[in-house]
């Protein structure tokens, strides 16, 4: 597949090289460059940090990089996440508390940390507990802090028995929280949530927050104009990439300026209806597909 002017993709490739070479400062500069280009924290998580972690994991799995190199790369990414998190400006407080952790026995916590960051930015009070919280301690904390939602990440399948125990124990609390599952092992088992008595499962960061909201009953909050524009921008970019087009090709086809397309894709352009129609026509999709609230196509 061609990856023409896709600047995020290029940043990701450079970031991957940097972390694999252990160049922390270079990694930071690339993230900084992304921010200067107008990408937000979420673009950087979704299009740079996550794909990099997956590629690092693959390289490790294939024996191309050693454990120490993987650890170094992962630490650089955690450092960038810490930096990006410090810049989060949460939406107004929702008044709901979520506790996020990986299941007992599971040392993977980067996915859980990202989920926690998405909740933070959505206005939740977030208790991030890190990796491998012992089940009984988690239950006690949830009881004591009146947690509304517990989000548990499970990456390796051998932790599933402990996940089941934890979910079962949380359900016995006098004021039981809603329980949301996620992570590689959870995601590979379609009926897992139902089977073990959890309330929901989500496969990615955006759906984690949507599902969390739905579970505690705040799913139907009005979406701000800025969120609509970001969502529309993401869809335009996704469909354009699927077509293998660069921004100039889309601009030509829609009879719009390339800088306009760039602003749209970054969620920074308050489009006229006429421009949305032109974009939908050029991309060959129905208008409603660009305007619907869901990120899924």
Residues in contact with ligand B12 by the rule CB under 6 A:
50, 53-54, 56-57, 60-61, 70, 74, 106-112, 114-115, 151-153, 155-157, 180-185, 187, 202, 204-205, 208
- Look at the alpha carbons of 198, 203, 209, 213 in this order and tell me if their dihedral is positive or negative: negative
Minimum distance, C-beta of residue 78 to ligand B12, in the bound complex (Å)? 7
Other C-beta atoms lying within 10 Å of the C-beta of residue 224: 10
Closest separation in Å from C-beta 123 to ligand B12: 17
The token duo for 1 is 């597949």
Q: Which residue's CB is nearer to ligand B12, number 98 or number 232?
A: 98
Q: Smallest gap, in angstroms, from Cβ of residue 108 to ligand B12?
A: 4
* Alpha carbon distances (Å) from 15 to 10, 258, 267: 9, 26, 23
Q: Phi, psi at residue 40, to the nearest 5°?
A: -90, 175
Contact present, 101 and 154 (Cβ < 8 Å): no
Q: Which is nearer to ligand B12, 165 or 260 (CB)?
A: 165
d(CA 163, CA 144): 20
Q: From the CB of 180, what's the least distance to ligand B12, in Å? A: 5
Q: Which residue is nearest to ligand B12 (CB)?
A: 182
| Residue nearer to ligand B12 on the CB measure, 69 or 253 | 69
**Which residues pair with residue 8 across a beta bridge?**
none
Choose between 19 and 152: whose C-beta lies nearer to ligand B12. Answer: 152
Question: In terms of CB distance, is 106 or 148 closer to ligand B12?
Answer: 106
Distance (Å, whole) CA 85 – CA 126: 13
């Amino acid at each position: 597949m061609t990856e023409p002017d896709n600047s995020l993709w290029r940043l990701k490739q450079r970031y991957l090289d940097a972390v694999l070479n252990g160049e922390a400062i270079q990694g930071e500069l690339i993230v900084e460059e992304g921010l200067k280009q107008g990408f937000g924290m979420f673009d950087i998580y979704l299009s740079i940090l996550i794909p990099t972690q997956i590629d690092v994991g693959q390289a490790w799995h294939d024996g191309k990089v050693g454990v120490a190199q993987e650890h170094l790369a992962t630490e650089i990414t955690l450092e960038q996440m810490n930096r990006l998190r410090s810049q989060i400006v949460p939406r107004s407080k929702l008044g709901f508390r979520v506790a996020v952790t990986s299941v007992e026995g599971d040392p993977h916590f980067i996915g859980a940390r990202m989920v926690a960051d998405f909740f933070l930015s959505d206005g939740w009070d977030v208790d991030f507990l890190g990796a491998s919280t012992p089940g009984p301690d988690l239950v006690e904390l949830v009881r004591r802090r009146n947690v509304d939602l517990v989000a548990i990440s499970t990456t390796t399948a051998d932790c599933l028995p402990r996940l089941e125990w934890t979910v079962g124990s949380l359900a016995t609390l006098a004021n039981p929280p809603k329980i949301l599952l996620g992570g590689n092992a959870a995601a590979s088992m379609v009926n897992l949530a139902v089977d073990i008595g959890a309330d929901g499962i989500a496969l990615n960061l955006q759906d984690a927050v949507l599902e969390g909201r739905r579970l505690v009953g705040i799913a139907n909050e009005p979406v701000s104009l800025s969120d609509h524009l970001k969502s529309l921008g993401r869809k335009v970019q996704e469909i354009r990439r699927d077509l293998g087009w660069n921004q100039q090709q889309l601009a030509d086809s829609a009879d719009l300026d390339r800088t306009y397309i760039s602003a749209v894709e970054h969620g920074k352009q308050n489009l006229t209806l006429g421009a949305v129609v032109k974009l939908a026509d050029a991309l060959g999709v129905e208008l409603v597909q660009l305007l619907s609230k869901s990120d899924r196509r």
